[in-house]
Amino acid sequence: MFELLKKDPSSRARLGRLHTTRGAIETPVFMPVGTQASVKALDNRELEEMGSQIILGNTYHLSIRPGMEIIQKAGGLHRFMNWHRPILTDSGGFQVFSLGKIRKIREHGVEFRSHLDGSPLFLGPKESMEVQRLLGSDIAMVFDECPPHPAPREEVVRAVKRTIRWAAECRAQPRAEGQYVFGIVQGGTHADLRKKCAEELVAIGFDGYAIGGVSVGEPEPEMFRQVEMAEPHLPEEKARYAMGLGTPAQLVELVARGIDMFDCVLPTRVARNGTAFTSRGTFAIKGGAVKEDFGPIEEGCLCFACRHHTRAYIRHLLNVNEILGLRLVSIHNSHYFLQVMAEIRVHLRDGTFAAFRRRFAERYVPTEKVRKARADDLERIQSA
């Protein structure tokens, strides 16, 4: 059940609480991505200490490795990875539809080949929901069709029709005890299709709603517009989730547009390249400018990396390919994303979100390197 606690008078931002059987989730919330039952470079203790309320896992990847037999024998995904807080599982639809030419869409799902060994596989609404039931996630996502960007309107129309039909099939499937199911709004860049998809999903009835098919190659202003196309047609009393987003600056702006939940691989993805997020944007720790910089990654940050190590030391670790280097940057970046969301919640509670939003935009400068990392991720997925 989603509890709407407060609405911001200056925007569409909301303060809320999503109750699950494994505890309440304070929203807006950022979910670290643990695609393969692990948030890259971080352990569960670190995630808990930095305030992670919920993490994300992936149906497609986990069903292939380690496979459902192993996870079932372990007693479900939570026990397998020893994570006792909520988990949201993606349906696997995005990974399947990213395979492009090596998949065939059928009436009740998609035929494709494993990215590991090329073996034939099939995934559809029934299969995806059964895997998520066995995983025992707290929030399961419906199996949808995510059209590429750009795509002809007729292709997006077909994707919306399938998404709605498959959502109804997902809704009818058995689920784990206490498991929520969220619908996913598709529709590309077309306002009428976003509206139609949202209204049809609401008519079916889900525990929450996600906006999918965003940040898949379109410019940032277009991404914001797609969210704005869908959000007004989603019920106020249900949680809203923008899938796969975004940078810290985007998170602030999307909260202002009425979104409650987010996930993104960026904190750990760019950390592996030596890029750190700060309140003023990102910078490359590997660069010579910090060779003799004995301050923390960011002054005032309370993460483990900033409390115990210097930029110069972390730069050294990265440049000699020591694993600890990428771990420390991953810790800092993940902590920073979670801290931004915690600050947003405080300002929403105190009625000062508008001022916070303005100050954040003034000082935060995104870099081309982060945008390129997102583009590289898309290219890598699509060529897998």
The number of beta carbons lying within 10 Å of the beta carbon of residue 93 is 27
User: Nearest Cα to 297, choosing from 332, 266, 265?
Assistant: 332
User: Nearest Cα to 146, choosing from 210, 234, 232?
Assistant: 210
Query: Within 13 Å of residue 124, how many CA atoms lie on the same side as its CB?
Result: 16
Where does residue 18 fall: left (phi above 0), alpha (psi -120 to 50 degrees), or beta otherwise?
A: beta
Give Cβ neighbours of residue 249 (< 8 Å, ≥ 6 apart).
Answer: 360, 361, 364, 366
The number of beta carbons lying within 10 Å of the beta carbon of residue 151 is 18
Indicate if the alpha-carbon torsion angle 105, 110, 113, 114 is positive or negative.
Answer: positive
C-alpha of 5 from chain center: 23
293 touches 7 (CB < 8 A): no
Amino acid identity of 215? S
Active-site residues, by number, are 90, 263
Query: Within 13 Å of residue 141, how many CA atoms lie on the same side as its CB?
Result: 27
Q: 121 has which bridge partners? A: 112
Give the pair of three-digit tokens for residue 101.
Answer: 């030419």
Q: How far apart are CA 202 and CA 213, in angstroms?
A: 18
